[in-house]
Amino acid sequence: MFCRYFFLVRFSTVDGVVDVNDVVEALLRGAQWGASRSSGPGGQHRDKASTRAELTLSAEGLLAAGFEPQLASRLEVALGLRDGPLRMLVQNERSLARNREIAVQRLTELVAEALAPPPPPRRPSRPSRAKREARLASKARRSADKRLRRPPEDI
């Protein structure tokens, strides 16, 4: 369709491998496109032409794409479709076609990010021997300072 920027990324799921471009094309089939007048410089062309691209993707469009439930759930959460439809407005260029390409590119990046596997959990590192000794020395200094502030004990 509009996919000019292809991500050569494939992610494995329960049923097999999912290609980001296939997912984006399926999402675009259920998406709604619109155009409106953009703001900013451009003179008469800006005032007369509708060059702002508006891409609207709803949860119904996600369901109509026919993804497996796990994939659909990940996309729904990552794209924020539970809160309402995803609406992208692009007015970077003076051409509607170029703004649509940019919108598709942004959607592709969002989908690639959504399908990427989560990062491995962070394993906390142990403090080194020098760090432990420095911490204990600091505590000993602090303790000595506080001990010196006490009133003298009666013997």
> Per-residue pLDDT tens for 8-48?
455 555 445 778 888 889 888 888 898 888 776 666 776 77
The type of residue at 10 is: R
- In the chain, the number of structural domains is 1
Question: Residue 154: inside a domain, yes or no?
Answer: no
Question: Residue 33: inside a domain, yes or no?
Answer: yes
Higher pLDDT, 44 or 144: 144
Please state whether 91 falls in left (phi above 0), alpha (psi between -120 and 50) or beta: alpha
Question: Residue 131: inside a domain, yes or no?
Answer: no
Distance separating alpha carbons of residues 103 and 56, to the nearest angstrom: 10
Looking at residue 2, its pLDDT comes to 46
- Look up the pTM and report it: 0.66
Q: How many C-beta atoms surround the C-beta of residue 36 within 10 A?
A: 13
Does 6 have pLDDT greater than 50?
no
Domain of residue 58, CATH code: 3.30.160.20
Question: Residue 56: inside a domain, yes or no?
Answer: yes
Distance separating alpha carbons of residues 152 and 155, to the nearest angstrom: 9
Question: Residue 49: inside a domain, yes or no?
Answer: yes
Q: Which domain holds residue 31?
A: 10-115
Question: Residue 150: inside a domain, yes or no?
Answer: no
Question: Residue 54: inside a domain, yes or no?
Answer: yes
For 30-146, strand residue ranges (E) read: 32-36, 52-57, 86-90
Looking at residue 106, its pLDDT comes to 93
